[in-house]
Amino acid sequence: MIDMSPSLVLVVAIGALFISGVYLLLERSLTRVLVGFILIGNGVNLLFLVAGGAAGGPPIVGTTASEDMSDPLPQAMVLTAIVITLALTAFVLAMAYRSWQLHGHDEVQDDLEDRRIVRLAAKNAPSFNDLDAQEDTESIDEQAAEARDETGRDDA
Amino acid sequence: MSDFLWLVPLPVVMPLFAAGLTLALYRHPVAQRIISVVALTLMVCAGTALLVLADNGAVVVDIGGWAAPVGIDLVADRVSALMLTVSSTVMLCVLLYSLGQGITDGDEAAPVSIYHPTYLVLAAGVSNAFLAGDLFNLYVGFEILLAASYVLLTLGGTGERIRAGSIYVVVALLSSLIFLVAIALVYAAAGTVNLAQLALRLPELDPGVQLVLQLLLLLAFGIKAAIFPLSAWLPDSYPTAPAPVTAVFAGLLTKVGVYAIIRTQTLLFTDGRLDTLLMWLALATMVIGILGAVAQNDIKRLLSFTLVSHIGYMLFGIALADRAGLGASIFYVTHHITVQTTLFLVVGLVERRGGSTSLERLGGLAKIAPGLAVLFFIPAMSLAGIPPLSGFLGKIGLLQAGVQAGTPLAYTLVVGSVVTSVLTLYAIVKAWNKAFWQTPPEPIPETRLPFSLVGPTTALVGLGLLITVVAGPLYSYTDRAARTLLDTDAYVDAVLRPDGRGSGESADEPSETDGVTESAPGAGETSGGGS
A95 touches chain B (CB under 8 A): yes
Q: Which residues of A touch B514 (CB under 8 A)?
A: 1-2, 4, 53, 71
User: Once rounded to an integer, what is the mean pLDDT over residues B184-200?
Assistant: 89
B295 touches chain A (CB under 8 A): no
Q: Please answer whether residues B311 and B252 qualify as being in contact, where contact means their C-beta atoms are separated by less than 8 angstroms.
A: no
Chain A residue with Cα closest to B162: A99
Contact B515 A87 (CB under 8 A): no
Q: Tens of pLDDT along B123-163?
A: 999 999 999 988 999 999 999 999 999 998 888 778 888 88
Contact A98 B162 (CB under 8 A): yes
ipTM above 0.85, yes or no: no
CA triplet A122, A123, A126: central angle to 5 degrees?
85
CA triplet A46, B133, A67: central angle to 5 degrees?
50
Contact B187 A77 (CB under 8 A): yes
Per the rule left: phi > 0, alpha: psi between -120 and 50, beta: everything else, B438 is beta
Contact B163 A59 (CB under 8 A): no
A87 touches chain B (CB under 8 A): yes
Report whether pLDDT(B20) > 80: yes
Chain A residue with Cα closest to B157: A98
> Which of A144-153, B56-65, B192-201, B308-317 shows the highest mean pLDDT?
B308-317
3-state secondary structure of A57: strand
C-alpha closest to that of A155 among A116, A105, A103, A101: A116
Residue B511's pLDDT band (cuts 50, 70, 90): very low
Residue B333 belongs to what H/E stretch?
A: helix B323-354
Q: What is the largest CA-CA distance in chain A?
A: 80
Task: State pTM to two decimals.
Answer: 0.87
Hey, which bits of B51-175 come out as E strands? 59-63, 72-76
Q: Tens of pLDDT along B232-246?
A: 888 888 888 888 888
A42 Cα to chain B: minimum distance (Å):
10
A13 Cα to chain B: minimum distance (Å):
15
Q: Which residues of A touch B517 (CB under 8 A)?
A: 73
* Separation between Cα atoms, residue B13 and residue B255, nearest integer Å: 21
* Separation between Cα atoms, residue B435 and residue B427, nearest integer Å: 12
Report whether pLDDT(A46) > 60: yes
Q: What is the pLDDT of residue B178?
A: 94
A113 touches chain B (CB under 8 A): yes
Q: What is the pLDDT of residue B296?
A: 85
Q: What is the pLDDT of residue B525?
A: 36
The residue of A23, A61, A95 whose CB has the most chain B CBs within 10 angstroms, and thus the best one to mutate to test that interface, is A95
A91 touches chain B (CB under 8 A): yes
Residue B119's pLDDT band (cuts 50, 70, 90): very high
The residue of A14, A108, A116 whose CB has the most chain B CBs within 10 angstroms, and thus the best one to mutate to test that interface, is A108
Q: Which residues of A touch B515 (CB under 8 A)?
A: 52-53, 71, 73-74
The residue of A26, A98, A114, A149 whose CB has the most chain B CBs within 10 angstroms, and thus the best one to mutate to test that interface, is A98
Q: Which tops the pLDDT comparison, A119 or A39? A: A39
Contact A92 B169 (CB under 8 A): yes
The residue of B72, B128, B163, B181 whose CB has the most chain A CBs within 10 angstroms, and thus the best one to mutate to test that interface, is B163
Report whether pLDDT(B351) > 80: yes
Q: What is the pLDDT of residue A84?
A: 92
Q: What is the pLDDT of residue B531?
A: 31
Bond into B388 cis (ω within 30): yes
Write b or e for each residue in A7-40: b if 16 or more Cβ atoms lie within 10 A of its Cβ, otherwise e.
eeeeeebbeebbeebeebbeeebbbbbbbbbbbb
Q: What is the pLDDT of residue B512?
A: 38
